[in-house]
Homo-oligomer: A and B are copies of this chain.
């Protein structure tokens, strides 16, 4: 098995170029990679497209601003593809004022579209969204008398992921509900960067419990937890 480069977060985000589609793991921040997000904010790259479950927390009153919300606040995205923005007032403001294109995707459809990209499928036929605004502009197919939307694969350039533990080959396991979109995004991006709380030697992860196999991972970054 071949070891993957272990690099600093600041080096890792240099792989992200203006105009790229960046996928960020996590669900309301649970399972998002904090060091990679901070480094991308520091780098300041603009005109990105974000693919994420949501845009985490940003509250004008309390001043709370967490995870990808930091990048939203810095206006690094020209387009945001997520299932939920209800906890981020700034995303709603940018959308309502036409500053940023926000595409709302049903969460299960988002998961399948990302997975499809990673699995070499052009898309899936889902009943979700039939008869709603989500249907607009999409091909509707009749299969055995029922209507389905053709939802196309959603690939990305760079994935920023968070794992609990990685081996040096890039095999990953996650922490409880922090798994969520991370394993799917690992399949769907040209460059996959993983912030891991712990990095162990090759052979120290049981092959039965690996969730993301090494072949899908390109770079490892040590989380600050690890020191």
Contacts and interface: CB of A to CB of B under 8 A. Distances in A.
Interface in A40-97: none
A222 interface: no
Interface in A133-163: 141, 143-144, 146, 148, 150, 152
A126 B123 CA distance: 8
A125 B126 contact: no
Contact of A122 (B120, B127, B173, B207): B127
Nearest to A207: B176
What DSSP secondary structure best describes chain A's contact surface? mixed
Interface magnitude class on chain A: 20 to 34
B119 A143 contact: no
Interface in A176-227: 176, 207-209
Contacts of A121: 112, 124-126, 148
A12 B151 CA distance: 39
A135 B22 CA distance: 35
Contacts of A127: 120, 122
A123 B122 contact: no
Contacts of A173: 208
Interface of A: 112, 116, 119-127, 141, 143-144, 146, 148, 150, 152, 173-174, 176, 207-209
11 contacts: A112-B119, A121-B126, A122-B126, A122-B127, A122-B141, A122-B144, A123-B124, A123-B143, A143-B152, A176-B208, A209-B209
